[in-house]
Structure 1
Amino acid sequence: MTEWKKVRLGDLCKNVYSGGTPKKSITEYYDGSIFWLNTKEINFNRIYETEKTISEKGLANSSAKYIPENTVVVAMYGTTAGKVAIAKNEMTTNQACCNLIIDETKADYNFVYYSIAHNYKKLSSLANGGAQQNLNAGIIKDFEISLPPLSIQKEIASILIPLDDKIENNKKINHHLAA
C-alpha cells in the first residue's frame, strides 16, 4: 500500500492569491471580454465562463488579476465559504476567491479539487468573523489534505472526472429541455 501524507495546500501551490473588483460606479470597467468570477458561481463545479465580465480598463484599474486554466478556486466569504471549483479557462476573480495555482510536479489539480470538496465541512468550519463567516488565504494555505504519490492522485482523478463529465452533460440536457 502506498503511503499518503498530510500536506498543507500552500505547499502544493506555485502561487496563491485572491482577485479584485473594479469600481462598480465606472460602467466602462464592466461588460468587456474578460471573464470575472464571483463566489456565487463556485459550487463544486468546473467553470468555463462567468456570469459577468470586465474590460481591459477594469482589469488595469483594480486588483483583479488573471488566473490560469486549471486553477483551483476556493470561496472565502459568507455562505459559499469553503466551496471549490476549477477554472477551466483563463479568467479573473473577485477578492472573495482564493486562487490556488497548483504545482503540477507536486500535485494533480483535479485531485486537490476533489480533496477540498471532500473536506468541505471541515474547511468551512474554520471560517470565522462576526455577521459573515469568512475564510482567508492563510487558513486555506494551512489547510491539510491527505496526499498519495502523484501517480495515484492522477489515477484517482481519472476515475472521478468522467463522473463529473456525466453530471455536467446531464445539467446541460436538463437546461436545454427546460428552455
Structure 2
Amino acid sequence: MMLPNGWKKVKLGDILTAVDYGTAAKSDAIGKYPVLRMGNLENGYLVWDDLVYSSSEDEYAKYELEKGDILFNRTNSRDKVGKTSIYRGERPSIFAGYLIRLKVNNECDPYYVNYCMNSKRFAEFCKSVRTDAVGQSNINAQVLQTYDFSLPPLEEQKKIAATLSVWDSAIEKMEKLIDAKENELNIVLRQNLLEKGIALKWKEIPLTEILKSVTPPSKIHQDSYLNSGKYPIVDQSKDLIAGWTNDESSVLKINRPLIIFGDHTCALKIMEVPFAQGADGIKILSAKDDYDPVYIYYAIKANPVIPEGYKRHFSALMLKNVFCPSFEEQKKYAAYFKSFDDELSLLKEQLDNYKKQKQGLMQKLLTGQWRVK
C-alpha cells in the first residue's frame, strides 16, 4: 500500500535517542520510588498496583523515568513478551531489568509510537522474532529496533494519538463500570445468601454433600482450539473459556447447569450450554437433584473465604459449607442473581466490541488508510 504524501516508513531504531535496560538491584516491599516491572505494563498503560520500591538515590538518578518514556517488556511468557506501555509522569519511578526504556526523537510523538507498539502488527512482529526458552521468551534491544512502521508528520501523529485516546477513555470507563457492578453483585450476594442465611437459620450444608464430579467424553488438546466454533472449550484461562470446537464427540451434553472450578485460577463459572474440556486443572461439578445448581454457584461466590491453613484450590473449596433455603426459594434467588450476571455479560460484550473497534481504527489510522483532519 502506498503511503500518503508526507508519510514515510521508518525502523524503530531510526527514531530513538536512547535505549536503556532497567535496574537489576533488589527491590523492597516499601520505599520511596516504585520500580515498574513487567506486570505493571498493560494495554499501553501502566498499572499502579502490586508495586515494589527502591529508596536508592543513585538508582533513581540512573533509571529515573521521564514523561513520554516508552517501556518494553523484553522477557516474559510467550504470549506476554513484547508488552509496551508509556510513562505519563504519574509519579516519580524507575524501571526493572526485564524492561527496556525507549526515548524517541523530536520528529516523533511518543504516544503515537506507543500505539504503534500496541498494534496487532507489532504483536505479530514480536511473535516472529522472539527467542523461546523453557518457561519464557526474549526479544533483545537490537532485534526490537528492526521493527518498521509508518510515520506521518508530527502534527498528524499527535492527532492520531488523541483520537485513539478517546477510545481508551471509553474502554476505561466501561471497565470501571464493570468493576463497580461486580462489586455490587458480591455485596448483594453476601447480604442475601450468607448474612441472611445465618440470620434466618437456613440449613448449612457441606459442598461435599451437594456436588459431584462429572467426567467429559474426552479432552481437547490446546493445538486444536479454534477462535470460533459451535461449542466453547473450558480450561485454565482467566475466564475459563479458552477457545471453541466443532468436535461433537468431545462435547459434554448437559440437561442442568454445571459448575466449573479452575483449580489454579480459583475461578468459578456456571455453564448452561454443551461444552468441551480443554487442559487439566479444572473440575466439572453437578448439583444433586434436590439443589438448584445456579443457586449453589452463587452461594459459593457469596462466601469466598477459604478455611485457615488451606491453599486456594479445589480441595479447600469442597471444605466449605453453604446456606440453603427451600428448593423453591433457591430457584427464586438464582433467577434474581442471574439477572445481575446477564447485565454484566452485556457490559462485557460491549467492552469487547470497544476493544475490537479500537484495533480496527488503529489499523486504519496507523497505516494512513484513514486520515485525521
TM-score, structure 2 as length reference: 0.43
Could you list the per-position Cα deviations for residues 105-160 of structure 1 after superposition, in whole angstroms to 9, with x for gaps in the alignment? Answer: 21111110111111222123211143222001111122222111212211211211
- Code of the aligned partner of 1:87: Y
* Larger relative contact order (Cα-Cα within 8 Å, sequence gap ≥ 6): 1
Quick check: 2:44–2:115 contact (8 Å CA) kept in 1? no
* Contiguous gaps of at least 5 residues in structure 2: 184-373
Question: Which residue pairs with 1:176 in the alignment?
Answer: 180
Q: Deviations over 1:72-122 (max 9, x none)?
A: 11111122211111122242111111111222x211111101111112221
Give the aligned partner of residue 123 of structure 1.
126
Instruction: Tell me which stretches of 4 or more aligned residues in structure 1 moved more than 4 Å.
Output: 61-64
Q: Deviations over 1:33-85 (max 9, x none)?
A: 3121111222223226342131323x636997112122111111122211111
- Indicate if the aligned counterparts of 1:19 and 1:64 stay in contact, CA closer than 8 A: no
Q: 1:177 to 1:88 in 2, by over 3 A?
A: farther
Percent of residue pairs identical: 23
Instruction: Please show how residues 7-156 of structure 1 align to structure 2 within 5 Å.
Output: 7-23=10-26, 29-47=28-46, 49-57=48-56, 60=58, 65-79=63-77, 80-89=80-89, 90-103=92-105, 105-118=106-119, 119-131=122-134, 132-156=136-160
Deviations 1:4-57 (A, max 9, x none): 322121222221112123225xxxx44113121111222223226342131323
Distance 1:94 1:137, change over 3 A: same
| Residues 33 and 54, structure 2, Cα contact 8 Å, conserved in 1 | yes
Query: How big is the alpha-carbon RMSD for the aligned residues of Structure 1 and Structure 2?
Result: 2.4
Distance in 2 (CA, whole Å) between partners of 1:62 and 1:158 is: 31
Scaled by the length of structure 1, the TM-score of the pair is 0.83
How many residue pairs get aligned? The number is: 173
Work out whether residues 21 and 62 of structure 1, in 8 Å CA contact, stay in contact via their aligned partners in 2: no
Amino acid in the other structure paired with 2:41 = I
Which of these residues, 144, 157, 162, is aligned with residue 158 of structure 1?
A: 162
Q: State the structure with more CA Rg.
A: 2
